[in-house]
Amino acid sequence: MPKIVYPDAGENLEEELSEASRQRLDALGGLEAHYGRPESHEAYLRRIGDARAILLGWDLPAEVMLAAPALELVVFTGIGAARFVDLPRAAARGITVCNTPGYSDNTVAEHALALLLAAARHVPRLDAELRAGRWNQSSMGMELRGRRLGIVGFGGIGQRFAALARAVGMEVVAWTRNPDPERARAAGVEFVSLDRLLAECDAVSLHLAGTPETEGIIDAAAIARMKPEALFVNTARGELVDEAALVEALREGRIRAAGIDVYREEPLPASHPFLGLDNVVLSPHVAYNTPEAAVALHDIAVECLVRYFAGDPIHVVAAPA
C-alpha cells in the first residue's frame, strides 16, 4: 500500500472528507494527516517521511520536495498549482503534480453574483450608514435585468456565472482564449473580442487563471475602455489587474463600482487605497469557501490519488518526461 500524507491539512479536514472518500482512502492504505503548516523545512520533511504521495493545502518549498526520498505524486487541493509548487523542478525530479479543478465552480460563481449585486445596489455603504444613524434613500441602485455582462475567461466558474447572470435577466457575452463556436452555442453566450467586451458591457467579471500570459490583462488601457457606469468584479486572481489604475478609475468615477475578492498582496494591507473607497465591495479571498466546495475539493483530490495508483492519472499539471 502506498504511504499517503497530508502534511498541512486544515483543521476541518474530518468534516471535509465524505464517507465515500474515506472508504477510498482506506482502500489505498489510509491517510496520515498533520494539521497546520509546518514551522520549518525540517519539520515539513519529517511529516512527509517516506510517503509516495501527498495532498497539499499550501506551498511545497522546492527544497522540501527535492529532499523527500520517495515522493512521486503531489495532489494540490486547489487550482493554480504553479503558484505553490515548482512544476518544472517537480517534473525533472520525476514527480507528478495534479490539481483539483471544478470543485468551486458554483460557490465562486455565487460569490461573484453576490459582489455584483452588492456593488450595483451600494449594499455595504447603505448598511454602514444605517448603522451610523443615517437614513439615506437618495442613492440610486442599478438594476441588472437587461444589462450586458462580460465574462473574461470561460472555464467552469465563468460558465456557471453566465447561467446565474442569465437567471436575473442579464445578457451575457464572453472573451476566452479558446473561442470555439460550438462551445459558445452550448453555453448560450456570444464570444467577442476583449476590446469589444470592455467597451460594450455594463458589468465585467474576471474568471481567468493567473498565469504569466494573463498577468495585468486588465491594465490602465483596458479600464479606460470600460463604460463610466460599468461594474467590475474580480474573484479570480489579483495579479490580473493593475490595482493602481483601478483605484484611480473608481476614485474619479470613470467606472461606477467594483466587487473584489482577490488582491495582488494578501492579506490586504491596512493602508491599501481600496479600503478608503465607498464604491468598492471587498471580501478577503473567500469566494471558494463553503462546506460544499470543501467536500467537493477533497473528493476530487482523492479521485486523483486513486486514479494515479491505478495507472490512469487525471488533472495532471506536471509530469515526468
| Mean predicted confidence (pLDDT) in 173-199 | 94
Active site residues: 237, 266, 285
Work out the mean pLDDT of the chain and round it to a whole number: 97
| 200 pLDDT higher than 90 | yes
Residue 227: per-residue pLDDT:
97
What's the domain count of the chain?
2
| 210 pLDDT higher than 90 | no
Confidence band for 93, pLDDT divided at 50, 70 and 90: very high
Confidence band for 211, pLDDT divided at 50, 70 and 90: confident
pLDDT tens digit sequence for 235-256: 999 999 999 999 999 999 999 9
**Residue % of the chain over a pLDDT of 70:** 100
Claim to verify: residue 171 and residue 239 sit in the same structural domain:
yes
Claim to verify: residue 69 and residue 156 sit in the same structural domain:
no
Claim to verify: residue 88 and residue 213 sit in the same structural domain:
no
β-pairing, 316-318 with 96-98?
A: antiparallel
| Mean predicted confidence (pLDDT) in 144-152 | 98
Which range is least confidently modeled, 185-189, 218-222, 277-281? 185-189
Task: Answer whether 257's CB lies under 8 Å from 231's CB.
Answer: yes
Residue 220: per-residue pLDDT:
98
Among positive and negative, which fits the CA dihedral 67, 71, 73, 74? negative
Claim to verify: residue 157 and residue 55 sit in the same structural domain:
no
Claim to verify: residue 193 and residue 65 sit in the same structural domain:
no
CA pair distance 165, 241, nearest whole angstrom: 22
Claim to verify: residue 88 and residue 144 sit in the same structural domain:
no
DSSP state string for 120-152? HTTHHHHHHHHHTT-----------TT-EEEEE
Claim to verify: residue 207 and residue 122 sit in the same structural domain:
yes
Domain extent, residue 95, equals 4-103+291-318
Helix or strand or coil: residue 257? strand
Claim to verify: residue 263 and residue 297 sit in the same structural domain:
no
The vertex-177 CA angle with 57 and 280, nearest 5°, equals 65
| DSSP alpha helix (H) spans, the chain | 13-16, 19-28, 41-48, 62-67, 87-92, 105-120, 123-131, 156-167, 181-187, 194-200, 220-225, 243-251, 291-309
The vertex-17 CA angle with 15 and 299, nearest 5°, equals 140
Claim to verify: residue 74 and residue 27 sit in the same structural domain:
yes
Claim to verify: residue 124 and residue 155 sit in the same structural domain:
yes
| 321 pLDDT higher than 90 | no
Q: Residue 8's closest CA among 75, 73, 72, 90?
A: 75
Claim to verify: residue 78 and residue 26 sit in the same structural domain:
yes
| 3 pLDDT higher than 90 | yes
CATH code, domain with 237: 3.40.50.720
Residue 290, class by beta-carbon neighbours within 10 Å (0-12 exposed, 13-18 middle, 19+ buried)?
Answer: middle
pLDDT tens digit sequence for 27-83: 999 999 999 999 999 999 999 999 999 999 999 999 999 999 999 999 999 988 998
Task: Give the three cell numbers for residue 22.
Answer: 474515506
69 CB-near residues (< 8 Å, 6+ apart): 50
**Residue % of the chain over a pLDDT of 90:** 94
Claim to verify: residue 53 and residue 200 sit in the same structural domain:
no
Output the CA–CA distances (angstroms, integers) from residue 307 to 16, 18, 83, 103, 313, in the order listed.
20, 18, 24, 17, 5
CA pair distance 222, 216, nearest whole angstrom: 10
From the centroid of its chain, how far is CA 231?
A: 19
